[in-house]
Amino acid sequence: MTLTGNRPWIAAIALVVGVIGVAPSAASTSDDAVRAAVAAGHSARVIMQFATTADRDAAFNRLLDRGAAVRAVDTEGGPALVVLSSATVLATEFPNATQVSLDAGVRVLADTPARARPVRNGSPMREESVARPRSGLAVAIVDSGIAPHADLPTSRIRAFKDFVTGGTTLVDNCGHGTHVAGIVAGTGARSNGLYAGIAPDVDIVALRVLGDDCSGNTSDVIDALEWIARHHVEHKIKVVNISLGHAVLESIFTDPLVQAVERLSRKGIAVVTAAGNKGINPATGEPGYGGVGVPCNAPSAICVGSLDTKGDADLSNDQVARTSSRGPTRFDLLAKPDVVAPGVNIVSLAARGSRLFREFPDLRVQDAYGEYDYFTLSGTSMASPTVAGAVALMLRDNHKLPANTIKVALQFTSRILANTDVLTQGAGALNIAGALQLGDAINPSVTHGANWIRHHVTSANTDGNGQQIIWGRRIIYGDRFVRPQYAELHLKRWDDDLVWAYDAIADNVVWANGDNVVWGNDDNVVWGNDNVVWGNDDNVVWGNAADDNVVWGNDESDNVVWGIGDNVVWGNDDNVVWGNTDEDNLLWGSGRLREVWAANVVWGFWADNVVWGNITRATEDNIVWSNGDDNVVWGNCSKASDDNVVWGNDNVVWGNNVVWGNCSDNVVWGNDNVVWGNSVLTGGRR
């Protein structure tokens, strides 16, 4: 790739990015792609993170002496280098870095347009956008730039920063960023309001990270997010939209782009991301699972899938677009997306002269005056800004809403789609009117543990066409559900200073700046200590009948149920099944074996007996799901051990009488009647 612009690069040789593989010598500090490049002897472009600035600067000099192209970066997460070099040179620096990640290429997440599709007028956004005076809020669009348009003139573009060339002139030679910005904030001036955006009263901050070919680098996206972190107060940025991404190559705990998203979320900025368009298994042509990309896999990101509304007002025929990426996330197994929103045949602003405008003339749409000022695109790239616009409206009405609270309101009020599992639709289809209603009712100033609903709210509303929408009342929290009644309470987990699902993911992990959220420490959030107690009555409970936050194994339909009839059911309506006896395989889908998109998306899903050791959390190395022997084995003991922990057998119940242990029948985890792995059932609810 050519190095251009005002970047402080120092280059001595031409370099080529390698392919994906494995290099065991770098396994502890590098991602899949970096290990592959080193093992194959390929050059690579990587992001190196360091513990101290001194370590970073020393590495900078060594790499420069060895002919590498190097750029120093200072992020809120710590010092880093962006390096292009040979496999041999990179390998010598692995021991000096805390983490080495591929500076992966990122692309727009719009589906490849169908050239044969005739020019169509499209349909306006389902939710009505009411013109109001300027709200003062700004939404940052991290994309391919922006071209001024009659629907979004220069006066509405609060700031522009070009991370590709360093230029200062408003530009979008790809055309994707302008389309995305119009979905958020276009006024519809050239269409008499027909193609207005969701929030036409907010301003846009455009950050260009994609070049003329609609592609870019992860490091530029991180630079843009760091810029937002420094300037969000100045420009009143409360929402960020990221309609781009790349495949998951490492865990959320080390991925630098995920970390950058989490740092923004901790500042109270809602980061809305596109799930991706890898929803079809290329080997079968059928829906596949595990295709959600980066940064949609960030726990606190609002991950959005694509909904096909069929271009009409009828809600009953809505369905998730086949191409929309499904969960779970690779390595960390989080349930994504969070919600789905309209993303098929969306008409928005055209950037005349851009690549998309030139190459796909059949997707141009005429305005009210016969000019081609609009354009049709599909994909999660279009669904994400629909949600970003809705979030802007929520903050316009209640500017004190924390980012995590916004996520709760969006999920809770979403409309559940029939015959669609959680890993496909998340909490359901976006319900803007409902989210505004619930968001306006929340008072974030009340004390923790108190009811924060300031006035009566019903769990239903009507949309712009007078149709009733019943709220799904789901809250998807990492890899589980939270009982719906906790949406009424001001819990610490709904605030900005906690990583979403922090207590469901791992302990002893430090997020953000090192002083905001600490897992497994005494500072703010403690796992198993004074502040957040795992297995007691304070915040997180496994197998208790009533508590503040999370219950596993309760008999209420809105909760997560494990161990019913020798099967393990995850979610509502039996949509998602783990360890069903009908198959000697992991079923994460509905009613039959669902293959996951591509072997390199989620490792091991192609095998008949799925061993999760390489993709689940690092501390659970020998977890086996549904290996044909007692359905599911979970634990740290050998399979031959009589006392091994078995999940899914007759004498094991998770929720009320569950034994948790590492080869012992006497280990009790949690509350009085929580027993794991023991055949004696005492107390609790079945």
- Which residues belong to the active site? 143, 176, 381
- 663: how many CB neighbours lie within 10 A of its CB? 15
The span from the CA of 162 to the CA of 5, in Å, is 10
The tokens of 103 are what? 């500076």
The span from the CA of 638 to the CA of 254, in Å, is 30
- 682: how many CB neighbours lie within 10 A of its CB? 11
Check whether the bond before 295 is cis (ω within 30° of 0): yes
Work out the burial of residue 642: count CB atoms within 10 Å of its CB; fewer than 13 is exposed, 13-18 middle, 19 or more buried.
exposed
The span from the CA of 126 to the CA of 432, in Å, is 10
The tokens of 461 are what? 């509303």
The tokens of 379 are what? 């994909």
> Half-sphere exposure of 650 toward its Cβ, with a 13 Å CA cutoff?
0
Task: Let me know how long the chain is.
Answer: 686
The tokens of 64 are what? 């420069």
The span from the CA of 649 to the CA of 565, in Å, is 9
Phi, psi angles (nearest 5°) of residue 527: -95, 115
Asked if 438 and 410 count as a contact pair (C-beta separation under 8 A), the reply is no
The span from the CA of 220 to the CA of 218, in Å, is 5
Work out the burial of residue 588: count CB atoms within 10 Å of its CB; fewer than 13 is exposed, 13-18 middle, 19 or more buried.
buried
Phi, psi angles (nearest 5°) of residue 569: -105, 130
Nearest to 531 by CA among 502, 505, 570: 502
- Phi-psi domain of 674 (left: phi exceeds 0; alpha: psi -120 through 50; beta: other): beta
- Phi-psi domain of 683 (left: phi exceeds 0; alpha: psi -120 through 50; beta: other): left
Residue with tokens 């719906």, as numbered in its chain: 484
Residue with tokens 């496999």, as numbered in its chain: 87
Alpha-helical segments (H) within 398-447? 403-412, 422-425, 432-441
SS (H, E, C) 146-192: CCCECCECHHHEEEEEECCCCCCCCCCCCCHHHHHHHHHHCCCHHHC
Nearest to 139 by CA among 245, 295, 274, 272: 272
Residue type, 555: D
Give the list of residues 6+ apart from residue 391 with CB closer than 8 angstroms, or none: 238, 239, 270, 272, 302, 406, 410
